[in-house]
Amino acid sequence: MQIITIDGPASSGKGTVAKLIAKKLGFHYLESGAIYRVVALITIKEAIDSSDIDSILTLIDNMELRFIDGSVLVDNLDVTDGLRAEAVGMMASTVAKNDVIRKRLLDFQREFATEPGLVTDGRDMGSVVFPNAHLKIFLTASPTVRAKRRYEQLKHNINVSLDNILADIIARDKQDTERANAPLKYDSSFILIDNDNMTIDETVQCIISLLNSKHNI
> For the chain, what is the mean pLDDT?
91
Across the strands, what pairs with 192? 138
Q: How far is CA 142 from CA 28, 148, 149, 168, 196, in A?
A: 29, 10, 11, 13, 7
Q: How far is CA 75 from CA 30, 63, 132, 147, in A?
A: 16, 6, 30, 35
- What average pLDDT does range 175-184 have in this prediction? 83
| pLDDT tens digits for range 23-79 | 999 999 998 888 989 999 999 999 999 999 999 999 999 999 998 888 899 999 999
Q: For 8-22, 93-107, 139-153, which range has the lowest pLDDT when averaged over its residues?
A: 93-107
First to last CA, the chain: 17
Q: What is the CATH number of domain 29-115?
A: 3.40.50.300
Q: Which amino acid is at 99?
A: D
What are the domain boundaries of the chain?
1-27+117-212, 29-115
CB 97 within 8 A of CB 56: no
1-27+117-212 and 29-115 agree in CATH topology: yes
| pLDDT tens digits for range 64-102 | 999 888 889 999 999 998 988 878 888 887 888 888 998
Please state, in angstroms and rounded to a whole number, the distance separating the CA atoms of residues 65 and 24. Answer: 21
Half-sphere exposure at residue 11, Cβ-oriented, CA atoms within 13 angstroms? 22
Q: 180 or 22: whose pLDDT is higher?
A: 22
CATH of 1-27+117-212, one of 3.40.47.10, 3.40.50.300, 3.40.50.1100, 3.40.718.10: 3.40.50.300
